[in-house]
Amino acid sequence: MPALWMSGIRKQFGRRDLWAPLDLTVEAGERVALLGANGSGKSTLLRIAATVSPATAGAVVVAGLDAKRNPEQARGKLSHLPQDAPCYAELTPHEHLRWWSRVQGVTVDPDAALVEAGLATMAHKPTSSLSRGQRQRLALAMALAPDRPLLILDEPFAALDADGVNALERQLTGRGSAMLIALHDEAQARRIAHRVLRLDAAGVRPT
């Protein structure tokens, strides 16, 4: 059973289709990287895959669950990192992870997660005091906390320093979840993905 199956997906803005109807499958345990120019609709496609934005037409099935018929159950099979994931300025990273574990219904050790994210020294400081790269590390820690069959990650390496990039590459390639990852760096995509696709107005194609 595929972790993600998308068929005949269309997205219209006004009367304009963003791309031709497209099909996309991510098999269980497969890492698929999605490349594309700015404005090609990578983030839009990932939001549709994550069931947080509706397609104009087409079907999305997550781990065997139809996203239209069973949206909450389908959402429970995936974890989504949006681009520029929001964090609450007044909460600490430790409080974020405690809150997120309750929202997701999972058991998370905030201290261990923050050590892995390189945020142990910032655990009890307001998120407003974190740099952009540190906020990205926190957003990743939350996205990676649930052990879900499917991860949908939009530019997860954004704002990370070299150490953060290397650590995240190891973390993703060492994880057994299926992944759909939007990236802009083709060399990086080929390092971490089993398959690399490119999105443009014609749809998705191997590259």
What is the per-residue pLDDT for 85?
81
Contact criterion met (CB below 8 Å) for 127 and 87: yes
Helix (H) or strand (E) holding 187: helix 186-192
Q: C-alpha distances in angstroms, 14 versus 11, 17, 18, 126, 134? A: 10, 8, 10, 41, 38
Per-residue pLDDT of the chain (207 residues; tens, 9 = 90+): 999 999 999 999 988 999 999 999 999 999 999 999 999 999 999 999 999 999 999 999 999 999 999 999 999 999 999 988 879 999 999 999 999 999 999 999 999 999 999 999 999 999 999 999 999 999 999 999 999 999 999 999 999 999 999 999 999 999 999 999 999 999 999 999 999 999 999 999 999
What is the per-residue pLDDT for 84?
82
Residues 6+ apart with CB under 8 A from 165: 157, 188
DSSP string, 93-139: HHHHHHHHHHHHT----HHHHHHHTT-GGGTTS-GGGS-HHHHHHHH
Other beta carbons within 10 Å of 128: 12
What is the per-residue pLDDT for 35?
98
pTM greater than 0.85: yes
Place of tokens 């953060």: 164
What is the per-residue pLDDT for 95?
97
Contact criterion met (CB below 8 Å) for 191 and 120: no
Contact criterion met (CB below 8 Å) for 58 and 86: no
Give SS3 for 150. strand
